[in-house]
Structure 1
Amino acid sequence: MEEIQKAIRQMEAHKTEDAIKTLTNYLPEADEEERFTIAELYMQWGMLEEAKLVLHELIQRYPKELELKVMMAEIHIDLEEDDEAIEILNQFGPEDEDYLQALVQLADLYQAQGLFEVAEQKLLAAKQVEPNSAIIDFALGELAFSNGEYSKCIPYYENAMHHQPVIGDIEVATRLAEAYAANGEFEQSLEFFQQVEEDNPDVMFRYGFVAFQANRNDIAIHVWEELIEKDAYFQSVYPLLAQAYEAEGMPAEALEMAKKGLAKDEFNKELYHLAGTLSHRQGNKAEGYKWMREAVALDPGYKEAVLFLIENYKADGDYENIIDLINELIALGEEDPNYLWELAQAYEEEERFEDAYEQYNQAYPSLKEDTDFLKAYGYFLVEDGKMEEGKNVLEEYLKHDPADTEMEDFVERLKER
């Protein structure tokens, strides 16, 4: 054992190569007990392939030593050699001391392979051996939750929590809160979130989100304010907290929160959109347009922001801005026939009829099944003096909407002319 102790001292002194060399040189002389110790050291040092070779030889000599098989299974799991690990673990029977551990490990492996029913069978077999094991109940809950079986997982989590509120680093109350929320039972979910003691930012975010979904904006605001104090760069919370403020009739606070979010994340198009919407609602149109244009500048394909601008420019009668906006988008490669139609209408309002005609023509191949477009295009052509073209387009419209008798009369009058 002196050489083994020497290797340990070398490793502690960060002389890694010397430590490995010492063990490698001594291994041929080592007895079985020393080989077992060397295998353990190899595992601790992350030398799994070397440990596997040593253990394989020991298992050949002592096939009934289950501790060796447990170690070998652990190595296979760490090396992601699931089939080899499963083969070893399936050798354990009810009479073996490590049978329970083997069943739980098998369940994990089968679950990783997508064999959920087999995994459940292994865990239920383990539950027969240890009916009150919190770890087994928790594992059954995790399996059901991962399959979206939220009602099924809840009793398992509750059993686990009754015997052991914290498993590993996980508070079982957190899992119950998530399970009830996923099942749409928000009030029960909030009760369990309130029992969670850890102040993990992700858990706090989910707590606030469930409260928000349950229309408990008071709780959501309180939890999310605490979250921002704890982690000011938890960017997902800013738009939601702003929405919660707005829902509670606190528009100024909502806008301020959106701006705070932008100070932390200047590339968040949703926050620009939210800041623009809130500013506009509070009567500050210029600021609202500024924020919304920033959203479009970040992502020209962000249609929600584009449509906001178009609709509000229309309401203001500001067709020049619509023309500028859509021409910029087209120059950037944003191809949408509805944009061409909006552009045509803006040109029409500005009495730039040739430009309007060109845009209507470009939009027509894509929108020739859209009755609203056909009606608008047909009327435009007639008013622009292009009677024959207008009549043809309006006849196309009537094929799609033959019940429009008023249009039918209008087309008949065109024919008479």
Structure 2
Amino acid sequence: MNTLQELEQLLLDGDLESLNDRIEKLQASTEFDQLYDAANLFIDYGFLSQADAIFSQLLDFLPDEAQLKIDRAAVLLELGEEDDALLLLTEIKPEDEEYAQALLAQADYYQTIGLAETALSKVREASTLAPHEPVIQLAEAELLLDSGRYSEAVRIYQKLHEKTDEIAGVRLSSRLAEAYSAGAAYEEAIPYYEELLDQETNPNELFGIGLAYYQTERYTDALNKLEQLLEMDPDYFSAYMLAGQSHSHLNEDAQALELFQKGIERDTYDKELQLAAGKSALKLQLPQESERYLKEALVLDPEYIDALVTLASLYDQQENDDALIELLTYSEADQLEIPLLHAFLAYAYERIENYKEAYEMYRKAYDGMQEDAGFMDQYAKFLLEEGKQTEALKVIRKLVEIAPEAEEWKVYLEGQSEEEV
């Protein structure tokens, strides 16, 4: 067994004491090639500090070796020692053969600290030195993808994909599918997902193509892929939501509710699944079930506006005024300035004949509800009942403007004009 095999066996055995003894003996030698290979072995097994120590030792003996500086800088970046890594990389000069590689390493550094444009400039500088080097072109595309410049990334990935499908362990068809999807070009993404799935079935790619089918309204195709995904990985939580929504679009509300329920069984803390189940139950005329899911969503997030509005709407339809007032008055909802919620409260207070509170809620809702003909109609009637004719006329004029078909209010306004004459 040679030295590297011995080290690897110790790593596999987890014998750290013997491993440290063997490292000390190795570092006492001057067999640079063996030390270098050992450092890369440690990197493969995640022993970055040990790899760094060896690279540091090698640089003591070979201070001008540019490749060693690049290798150590990469390890330092992984260890979070970004400044030391950059210092090493800037020691590599333009005349060095490894300069383009050093520029790519610098790009990694700048990307790590959030300076995407600086990283891109380093990659493009490297590209001028080696314009036909696929690894550099790939690095530019990766940065563009991470920066949200999807169409630019796609152009480079496409060019590379014409010659090969894999560079440095990166599947170009996967990147093209990802870039097209991220840029909402789902139709263009589908062939690349299909290409990937022809070679290997992968949960993430099944979800990706399921989402692409969903976004292009191919709901049955989406369901086929999502069901396959859930058979492979029942804990792929986001697939339950997407599969349920696909059933909803196909008007298969019972199947949708079943998917949402299965998702909730796997993850009871997913407020979006709770909301989706509540809405599906509502469509299926299961108000008690709907209320239960919506309440659970609000337990998870008391300011979950969509759940709050849906539950308030349910109570309003049921004229369950005590529950509606309790929901919107004695909770976090009381602090939310949402016109529709004020409108629901106005209706509830009016029904229980608390006209003072109803008037306040109508007034609060008015500015945000002026385009809602149903609200405006209700408000106009309330104001007239309360003898507030001047305010009512203002509301009615606006109502007729947004709903020309409101003939009864047109007649009312005409009658008011005749009285004025």
> 2:134 aligned with 1:134, yes or no?
yes
Map Cα deviations across residues 62-104 of structure 1 (whole Å, 9 max, x no partner): 4333344334323432333334323333444566454443233
Percent identity of equivalent pairs: 28
> 2:232 aligned with 1:234, yes or no?
no
**Residues 110 and 119 of structure 1 are in contact (CA less than 8 Å); yes or no, is this contact kept in structure 2?**
yes
Structure-2 change in CA distance of 1:222 and 1:80 (3 Å): same
For 1:244, the equivalent position in structure 2 comes to 246
Map Cα deviations across residues 152-187 of structure 1 (whole Å, 9 max, x no partner): 112321233344423455421111012223334322
Amino acid at match of 2:227: E
**Residues 244 and 256 of structure 2 are in contact (CA less than 8 Å); yes or no, is this contact kept in structure 1?**
yes
1:202-221 alignment to 2 at 5 Å?
Answer: 202-221=204-223
Q: How far did residue 20 of structure 1 move?
A: 3.6
Q: How far did residue 217 of structure 1 move?
A: 1.8
1:261-276 alignment to 2 at 5 Å?
Answer: 261-276=263-278
Q: How far did residue 191 of structure 1 move?
A: 0.7
- How high is the TM-score relative to the length of structure 2? 0.74
Map Cα deviations across residues 363-402 of structure 1 (whole Å, 9 max, x no partner): 3774575686899668646635xx5xx468659969999x
**Residues 346 and 359 of structure 2 are in contact (CA less than 8 Å); yes or no, is this contact kept in structure 1?**
no
Structure-2 change in CA distance of 1:249 and 1:137 (3 Å): same
Q: How far did residue 9 of structure 1 move?
A: 8.7
Distance 1:176 1:80 in 2: 30
**Residues 213 and 221 of structure 2 are in contact (CA less than 8 Å); yes or no, is this contact kept in structure 1?**
yes
Amino acid at match of 1:281: K
Distance 1:61 1:280 in 2: 74
Distance 1:183 1:7 in 2: 47
Q: How far did residue 194 of structure 1 move?
A: 0.5
For 1:257, the equivalent position in structure 2 comes to 259
Matched residue count: 400
Which entry has the higher C-alpha Rg, 1 or 2?
A: 1
1:127-206 alignment to 2 at 5 Å?
Answer: 127=127, 130-196=130-196, 197-206=199-208
* Structure 1: tracts of 5 or more residues without a match: none
Q: How far did residue 144 of structure 1 move?
A: 1.4
Distance 1:256 1:48 in 2: 48
Distance 2:245 2:88 in 1: 54
Structure-2 change in CA distance of 1:25 and 1:345 (3 Å): same
> Secondary structure of the equivalent of 1:266?
coil
- How high is the TM-score relative to the length of structure 1? 0.75
Q: How far did residue 212 of structure 1 move?
A: 1.0
Amino acid at match of 1:252: A
Distance 2:256 2:309 in 1: 22
> 2:35 aligned with 1:37, yes or no?
yes
> Secondary structure of the equivalent of 1:195?
helix
Map Cα deviations across residues 8-50 of structure 1 (whole Å, 9 max, x no partner): 99877755346546766996xx464479839956983877667
1:9-408 alignment to 2 at 5 Å?
Answer: 14=14, 16-17=16-17, 20=20, 30=28, 32-33=30-31, 37=35, 40=38, 44=42, 59=59, 62-92=62-92, 96-127=96-127, 130-196=130-196, 197-285=199-287, 287-296=289-298, 298-315=300-317, 318-319=318-319, 321-335=320-334, 336=336, 338=339, 339=341, 341-349=343-351, 352-353=352-353, 356-360=354-358, 363=361, 366-367=364-365, 380=382, 383=385, 390=388
Q: How far did residue 208 of structure 1 move?
A: 1.0
**Residues 371 and 397 of structure 1 are in contact (CA less than 8 Å); yes or no, is this contact kept in structure 2?**
no
Q: How far did residue 114 of structure 1 move?
A: 4.0
Distance 2:228 2:397 in 1: 61
Structure-2 change in CA distance of 1:313 and 1:407 (3 Å): farther
Structure-2 change in CA distance of 1:71 and 1:36 (3 Å): farther
Amino acid at match of 1:240: L
Distance 2:209 2:294 in 1: 30
RMSD: 4.6
Amino acid at match of 1:204: L
Map Cα deviations across residues 286-334 of structure 1 (whole Å, 9 max, x no partner): 544554454445544333334334445545xx32x13323314422342
Amino acid at match of 1:180: Y
Structure-2 change in CA distance of 1:153 and 1:12 (3 Å): closer
Distance 2:12 2:311 in 1: 66
Amino acid at match of 2:157: Y
